[in-house]
A = this chain, B = another copy of it.
Amino acid sequence: MRALGREVSNWGRWGSDDERGTTNLITPERVAAAAGLIRTGEVFHLGIPLDGDGPQPGGLRINPIRLMSENGQEQVLPGGFKWADDYVFMPLQAGSQYDSLAHVHYDDQLYNGFAGDGVSVKGADKCGIHTQAGGIAGRGVLLDIAKARGVDWLEAGTAIGPAELDEVAAAQGVTVGAGDILLIRTGWRKKFLSDGDAAGFMAGEPGLSLNCATWLRERDVAVVGSDNWAVEVMPGENPGAAFELHMVLIRDMGLTLAEMLDFEDLSEACAADGRYDFFYAGPPLQFTRGIGSPVNPLAIR
C-alpha cells in the first residue's frame, strides 16, 4: 500500500502549501465546458434524508437528532406572528458527506506532508473541509455498476476493479477524464432503501478495489462519490489491513471522497436516454477546520 501510495502521490503537485488536492483539477475551463451538459434542466439531488431513520446504527456515529427550539406554541408576538426554529446534533459524516483530506492519514503525515498531529481536539489545522468550500462543481459521470451487472445491488465484499470500470464506461458510452466528479453506483443505497437495515449497511459493502487508485490517478479524477459509506470494498482485500484505499486516495493522492449518496433516480434517468454525464454541483458546508461536511449534491442534466 505504501508503494502504491508513492506511485500515485500528488504531494507537491499544486505547491507545498496546497490543502485541496485533486479538486484543483476542476478548473474554470472545465466548469464552463461542463455547463454544456445541462440540456433538459432536470435536477436530481443526491443527498439522503437527514433524520432518525438514516443508516447509522449508533456507536461511532449516530443519525442526526433534530430538535425544535421554537414552534410558536408559547409565543405572543405583534401581529399574531408565529415562528419556528430547530437545532441539530449530528456527526458531520452521518449521511451524504464529503471527507476532508484531514479525515485519514498514516505514518504521521496527512496529504502533502502536513503533520498528522495537526489534527487536534480543535480539528484540522490543515486540509479542513472549509478549504473545499468553493470548489466542487463540474462534470459528473455516473458509472452504474449494479445496472451493468443486472443486479439490484452488489453483495458486501464484492470488489470493483479497473477493468470493470473501463467496461462499464464503454458500455455506457462515456469516458472518464481529468477534473471529473466520478460517481460509482453499487446499489448499496438501494439495499438500505429495501431493508432499512443500518447495521447491515455498515457491516460491509461492495466497492472499489485497491488497484483502482492507479486508474483514478491516470485519469486525474477530481472527486469520487459512491452510494456506499466508504467508496472502497469492505472487508478490504488484504486481511489485517483496513481502509487502504482511503489512505492512498485521501492521504497520497489528495482525492476528495463523497459517500452515502443516492443515485437511484439519476440512474433511471441516465439509463432512459443513455447519457451518463451531467453537471454536478455539490458544495460542502464551510465548517472551519471540519473533518467532513454533509452535502446534498445536485446532478443537472
Contact = CB atoms under 8 A, between A and B. Distances in A.
Contacts of A246: 81, 83
Copies in the complex: 4
B69 A137 contact: no
A279 interface: yes
B137 A298 contact: yes
A290 interface: yes
Contacts of A82: 104-106, 116, 119
Interface stretch (A153-161, A184-192, A216-224, A281-289): A281-289
Interface string A89-115: 111110000000011111100000000
Contact of A72 (B34, B85, B116): B116
Interface stretch (A7-15, A36-44, A141-149, A165-173): A36-44
Contact of A91 (B39, B87, B92, B240): B87
A281 B298 contact: yes
Contact of A285 (B41, B47, B69, B86): B47
Interface of A: 1, 27-36, 38-45, 47-53, 57-74, 77-93, 102-107, 116-117, 119-124, 130, 133-135, 137, 240-244, 246-247, 279, 281-292, 294-298, 300
Given A31-B300, A81-B243, A84-B102, 7 more contacts: A32-B38, A62-B62, A67-B68, A81-B241, A86-B292, A137-B300, A283-B296
